[in-house]
């Protein structure tokens, strides 16, 4: 009688192990089938009192290539006295990278959609440079994303003007230049764009100055700021002369307000000029202006000491932006040598454990049965 009871207990244990192994396999399969959700950000005001790593990532070490004659380095993004600074300087590693300059780019970790994007900034005044505030996404920031982008840019050759532009699925050519009536490099001013499904309106110190309504981008994007010298685009940016570097673009604050929290006619608040603003700099001759398609390009990683998969290389992100590494454990394989999915490996492991228990128990009860028979 005791033998039968013990056998039934062992059988129940085996069935229980098999049951939970099956449930775990099904649950894991369902989890794998669920696509990763795009991280979407909410409204925020960034005063740049320091580096908020939950919100912002510093680009680097890589280069966008093409017209970007610089390598992004995290150390070229700094925070001082309530300002975020992007510094353009000579790159000591130029002999290895083949790119003579280094600079900084700051980008959000999350994506943002329709709403009001604002920045208070002072661009660099130096021919051949671009100081920017923009939103961007592409296939290297999120799988299968189109190249969508909305720009606020200052060409260092003439900082009394501002350039607006946008790209939809890689199609640009929407440049618009606005005369500011002041030199943007001499004081902090508020620049913004209101992005809606059917229109983009750009603002300067709370005043709407330009609206676009054709082929508007629809994809959520990351918020970015960068400073870079151009190469091969002298007709657009002017020729870069590095005699006055290091150069610094200054950012006072950034704010995002989603469409659901906006009034019908959004108005940005102008920012008063800083009493400690630098003295005006004499304007340089204005070079010929041309339309130029621009934006983030796929990046090339320059760190030879670390290997990265293509999907880990971002323009921005990155993705980007968070490094992922394997567990280092050996991968299970089937008879053909192909790697088994983790769920299958876990199921086989549990079944083996259950089978081992059953065999051990059966052997034990056979031994007990023989002893009882002898008596």
Active site residues: 149, 153
- Please report where in the chains the tokens 């603002």 appear, as a residue: 203
**Residue 156 has which token pair?**
């260092």
The Cα 128–Cα 242 span in angstroms is: 9
The number of angstroms, rounded, from the C-alpha of 194 to the middle of its chain's C-alpha atoms is 21
The tokens for 55 are 């919100």
Does residue 226 contact residue 86 with C-beta atoms inside 8 Å?
yes
CB 224 within 8 A of CB 316: yes
């Amino acid at each position: 009688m005791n033998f039968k009871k013990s056998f039934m207990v062992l059988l129940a244990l085996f069935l229980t192990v098999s049951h939970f192994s099956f449930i775990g396999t099904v649950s894991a399969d369902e989890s794998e089938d669920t696509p990763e959700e795009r991280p979407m950000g909410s409204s925020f005001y960034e005063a740049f009192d320091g580096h908020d790593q939950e919100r912002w990532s510093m680009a680097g070490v890589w280069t966008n290539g093409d017209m970007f004659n610089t390598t992004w380095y995290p150390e070229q993004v700094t925070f001082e006295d309530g300002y975020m600074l992007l510094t353009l300087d000579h790159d000591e590693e130029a002999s290895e990278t083949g790119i003579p300059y280094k600079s900084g780019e700051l980008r959000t970790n999350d994506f943002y959609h329709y709403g009001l994007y604002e920045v208070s900034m002072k661009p660099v005044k130096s021919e051949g440079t671009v100081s920017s505030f923009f939103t961007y996404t592409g296939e290297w920031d999120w799988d299968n994303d189109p190249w969508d982008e909305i720009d606020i840019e200052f060409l260092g050759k003439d900082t009394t003007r501002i350039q607006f532009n946008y790209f939809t699925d890689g199609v640009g050519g929407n440049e618009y230049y606005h005369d500011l009536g002041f030199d943007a490099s001499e004081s902090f001013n508020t620049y913004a764009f209101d992005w809606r499904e059917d229109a983009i309106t750009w603002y300067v110190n709370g005043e709407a100055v330009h609206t676009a309504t054709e082929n508007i981008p629809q994809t959520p994007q990351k918020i970015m700021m960068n400073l870079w010298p151009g190469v091969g685009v002298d007709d657009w940016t002017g020729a870069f002369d590095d005699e006055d570097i290091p150069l610094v673009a200054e950012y006072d604050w950034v704010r995002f307000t989603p469409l659901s929290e906006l009034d019908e006619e959004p108005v940005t608040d102008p920012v008063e000029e800083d009493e400690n603003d630098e003295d005006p700099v004499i304007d340089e001759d204005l070079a010929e202006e041309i339309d130029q398609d621009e934006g983030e390009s796929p990046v090339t990683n320059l760190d030879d000491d670390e290997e990265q998969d293509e999907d880990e290389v971002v323009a921005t992100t990155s993705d980007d932006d968070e490094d992922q590494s394997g567990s280092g454990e050996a991968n299970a394989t089937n008879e053909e040598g192909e790697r088994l999915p983790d769920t299958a490996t876990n199921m086989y492991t549990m079944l083996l454990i259950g089978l081992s228990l059953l065999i051990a128990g059966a052997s034990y009860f056979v031994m007990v049965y023989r002893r009882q028979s002898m008596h």
